Amino acid sequence: MATRSFTSRRELEQHSFPSAVALLVPLGAILLQALLPRPFPRLAILDLPLIVTIFFAVSRRNPVAGTLTGAAIGLLQDALTAQPIGVNGMAKSVIGYIAASIGIQVDVENLTTRIFINFGFFLINSFLLFLINRRLLGLTNFHIYWGHEFIRAAINTVVALPIFYLLDNTKRTE
């Protein structure tokens, strides 16, 4: 008679990373995000910290860890940019939580899934930033041009795929 295992998918495929990777990759993404647009203004369209937040959240498959990772990355990003402190922290916390929750349910190693997840999360991030700036901060002059945001989401998705591939090589299965 066949026996059933009651181990959840999350427990089977939860990944961890070496401490150096878990610390240096987000810091590198934040520093590149803060420094690259100065000499190369066109690179301001990229959101490397969001790419890293999504990757670590879906890989760890732990909503609490995803939320904390998003909060830490977002707050550090706010500290190095002209954003009010907490704007990116709040948005990336929500993204980290949702990404980790989806990572539990869906095969996030699949290329098609990664494309949809990244594209969707970039649009959600734009919407969250809009809500935070317009509703919480009361900045009535903050506008989003959704055509630009779709292009931005597509470009960031294309950039995210090779980054995900490179970071996949650093995973340790628990």
Q: Write down the CATH number for the domain with range 9-169.
A: 1.10.1760
Q: How high is the pLDDT of residue 113?
A: 94
6 vs 28: which has the higher pLDDT: 28
pLDDT tens figures, 72-120:
999 999 998 888 899 999 999 999 999 999 999 988 889 999 999 999 9
- Phi first, then psi, for residue 135 (nearest 5°) are -90, -45
Confidence bin at 24 (pLDDT 50/70/90): very high
Per-residue pLDDT averaged across 20-38, rounded? 93
Confidence bin at 5 (pLDDT 50/70/90): very low
Query: What is the spatial distance between Cα 11 and Cα 1, in angstroms, rounded to a whole number?
Result: 25
The residues spanned by each domain of the chain are 9-169
